[in-house]
Chain A
Amino acid sequence: MGWIGDTVDSIKSIQIRQLLTQVVSLGMIVTSALIIWKGLMCVTGSESPVVVVLSGSMEPGFKRGDILFLHMSKDPIRAGEIVVFNIDGREIPIVHRVIKVHERQDTGEVDVLTKGDNNYGDDRLLYAQGQQYLQRHHIMGRAVGFLPYVGWVTIIMTEKPIIKYILIGALGLLVITSKD
């Protein structure tokens, strides 16, 4: 009896140990992703260091599905820079080029006008009603780097959530069943 009991105990302990290992390794994956994201936030100074291009308004430079790396420094904003900005009352940030800058002498505040390279006119129609210019606080960052196509992953996932759930399920299953 004692021998059987020992065996059962050892099997149980192995399973618990394995389960714990898997939970820990899953936790490691999630936390390391979080660390990378938050680390990028610190380094770039932008609250979203990577954005996916969603519209064709900057074609042929940036197409839908390309990703941009942002940087937010204290440097003043100048014409020609590609900035990502938020409009009050709009959820999705916009990536467009600065075409006009007026910087105040006394306060250093800036008025900025943007335009998409592929759009016919400037962005005043996109801004909130009556808004003529963007100010500093609207701007989330300026684009410094570019990587094509990679953003399609997130576009597909947001537009077809089923694929996201299947992917997460499959990955989870893989982590749980793998005996490493």
Chain B
Amino acid sequence: MHSFGYRLNGLLTFAVTILALMCVIASLSDNLNIPSPSAEIQIMNINWFQKQPKGSDEVSLRMNISADLQSLFTWNTKQVFIFVAAEYETRKNSLNQVSLWDAIIPAKERAKFWIRSSNKYRFVDHGKNLRGKEFNLTLHWHVMPKTGKMFADKIVMSGYSLPEEYI
């Protein structure tokens, strides 16, 4: 009844239970944090805007992105993944989301930033619908925890539009 094996088993089971419980509590504690992030994106320049040989519209643009995401960080946060997506509706598609730029914020100290960047990923439409198109720029964030549940949310910024003619 009180052999070495039984005691080892008991100790191990107890340790794993406590560890699991701590992981659950750490993950639940994330819910206590109510973040208040802010962001602003300006389009500085349309670098070029053309029709691909295959027939889809493609645009390259330069953005000013500033954001304060410090409030997203808790003690259970490993990193925050952020990306800027252009979102728009076309005649054929009820929703198009195209990721333009992304970054990983590894620590709270670097969560307040300002950056000027051209789109990292190609802004290609699913057709020829981009001329004069109004679109939203959305800053999405994805909080990746040390353990437990992941959180995601976004800030939608509207009122951007593309030129009427190819450049």
Give A contacts to B, CB under 8 Å: 60-62, 76, 78-82, 97, 99-106, 108, 111, 115, 117, 122, 143-148, 174
Contacts and interface: CB of A to CB of B under 8 A. Distances in A.
Contacts of B72: none
A57 B92 CA distance: 33
Q: Count chain A CB atoms within 10 A of each CB in B83, B93, B96 and give the residue with the most.
A: B93
Q: Which of A81, A105, A122 has the most CB of B within 10 A?
A: A105
Nearest to B93: A102
A117 B81 contact: yes
Given A144-B149, A148-B147, A101 B79 contact: no
B154 to A, nearest CB: 8
26 contacts: A60-B78, A60-B106, A61-B79, A61-B144, A78-B97, A80-B83, A81-B152, A99-B102, A99-B121, A100-B121, A101-B97, A102-B93, A103-B94, A103-B96, A104-B92, A104-B94, A105-B92, A106-B92, A108-B94, A117-B81, A143-B150, A144-B149, A145-B149, A145-B150, A146-B144, A146-B150
Interface in B16-31: 23, 27
Contacts of B147: 146-148
Contact of B81 (A61, A102, A106, A122): A61
A179 B98 CA distance: 63
Interface residues of B, number: 33
B104 A117 contact: yes
Interface string B122-148: 000010000000000000101011111
A143 B23 CA distance: 17
A76 B150 CA distance: 18
B95 interface: yes
Given A80-B142, A145-B148, A146-B150, A60 B94 contact: no
A33 to B, nearest CB: 15
Contacts of A78: 97
A80 B150 contact: no
Nearest to B82: A80
